Structure 1
Amino acid sequence: MFSRVGSLRKGYSVAEVDAFLEEARAAYEGDSTEVDANTVLEKVFKEERGGYSRVEVDTTLDRLIAAFVKRDRADFVNRNGQQAWLDFVAERAATLYPRLLAEAGQRFPSPKRGYPGYRRSEVDEFMNVISAFFNDGSDLTANDVRTVVFRSARGSKAYDEAVVDAYLNRVLEVMLAVE
């Protein structure tokens, strides 16, 4: 289904990707409720030499997330109406603004003492990109958000990884909900 990287390079675990996509297919077809858009957003695969191309798998995951969101949106609108959907998305989007409006260096908590986190300057720079997307319509794709990588840092030069990841998942959720 996906190209494999060379035997000296690392890609996503073939067995993990295949198993997860089979679960996702079953969930999408209604045979299971194990997988939804959030499950796909949070999925992390182990890496192995000669594994699947990360770019190809990530692109497929983005399409899969969009398919789940589109289906969920249609179900929600059928049950509650279009205006209720717009209100729901607006409410979710509003939760993003406090961190976007916060001063650089103060947007997220630091990691616990002794633990690494994401480099604050890089996260703040990406937050400016997100802000420009929501405020000015600047270019930003779901794939950009899903695949952004921040270098590691510690102490006052870092933000807590889990909090940043949760925030970026919410950004993706809102972006996909309005596509």
Structure 2
Amino acid sequence: MTTMFRTTGRLSMGYDPGQVDEFFVHARRVYEGEVTDAIDGRTVRRAAFDLVRHGYQPTAVDAALDRLEHAFVSRERTAFVATHGQQAWLEHLAERARTLYGRLARPDGERFAPAPRRSPGYDPDEVDEVCRRLVDYFDNGHALSSAEIRQVTFTRRKGHDGYAEGPVDAFLERAVEVLLGVE
């Protein structure tokens, strides 16, 4: 039997091969125009799979998802530019980037709400560092890629010692969208 990705060891956890195969086969069919379901870069970015023993190696699947997301975003950009023009695409991206500035302008330690009491959160210093890198990218043209933002991990903090995870994740997802739009 042929598999799309390498699997983990028999006792190790990996992504459910059936779910992964189904997603990639369907995404390929959509990309090639065989079916007209709405799959875009955001759909690919939000794909999630159950963990099972002897599943697909997550790093390999995640890397393939990143490439697939780039392909869908590139196609979306091409279609948008063909219909509305390059200047409209740049204005569209600028508008999305402006939605990030409210939080980026806040002081360190105050960019996001604290995590609820006894709930896990992200280390504020580490999140603020990523935000400062985004400011350097937008304001000073320093290099930053969507892959760098996508691969960031934060140390866990409990309750008010950390930023609430949901708003941070949503913010970083928007940042990835903007960065992908110019890559």
Flag whether TM exceeds 0.5 (same fold).
yes
Distance 1:136 1:12, change over 3 A: farther
Structure 1 residue 11 corresponds to structure 2 residue 14: yes
Identity between Structure 1 and Structure 2 (%): 44
Q: Distance in 1 between matches of 2:143 and 2:53?
A: 34
Q: Distance in 2 between matches of 1:133 and 1:54?
A: 29
How far did 1:154 drift? Answer: 2.1
Q: Distance in 2 between matches of 1:122 and 1:103?
A: 14
> 1:105-142 CA deviation, whole Å, 9 max, x = no partner?
11111233443222222212222233333334444332
**Which blocks of at least 5 consecutive residues in structure 1 are unaligned?**
none
For structure 1, which segment, 111-120 or 54-63, has the greater mean C-alpha deviation from structure 2 after superposition? Answer: 111-120
Q: Which amino acid aligns with 2:24?
A: L
1:120 matched residue in structure 2: 124
Q: Distance in 1 between matches of 2:143 and 2:50?
A: 30
Please state whether the residue corresponding to 1:163 is helix, strand or coil: helix
The structure 2 residue matched to 1:178, chosen from 176, 179, 182, is 182
Please state whether the residue corresponding to 1:96 is helix, strand or coil: helix
The alignment of Structure 1 onto Structure 2 pairs a total of residues equal to 179
Structure 1 residue 155 corresponds to structure 2 residue 173: no
Structure 1 residue 94 corresponds to structure 2 residue 87: no
Q: Distance in 1 between matches of 2:59 and 2:79?
A: 30
TM-score normalised over the length of structure 1:
0.89
Structure 1 residue 36 corresponds to structure 2 residue 40: yes
For structure 1, which segment, 118-127 or 86-95, has the greater mean C-alpha deviation from structure 2 after superposition? Answer: 118-127
For structure 1, which segment, 41-50 or 84-93, has the greater mean C-alpha deviation from structure 2 after superposition? Answer: 41-50
For structure 1, which segment, 3-12 or 90-99, has the greater mean C-alpha deviation from structure 2 after superposition? Answer: 3-12
**Which blocks of at least 5 consecutive residues in structure 2 are unaligned?**
none
TM-score normalised over the length of structure 2:
0.88
Q: Distance in 2 between matches of 1:73 and 1:141?
A: 17
1:67 matched residue in structure 2: 71
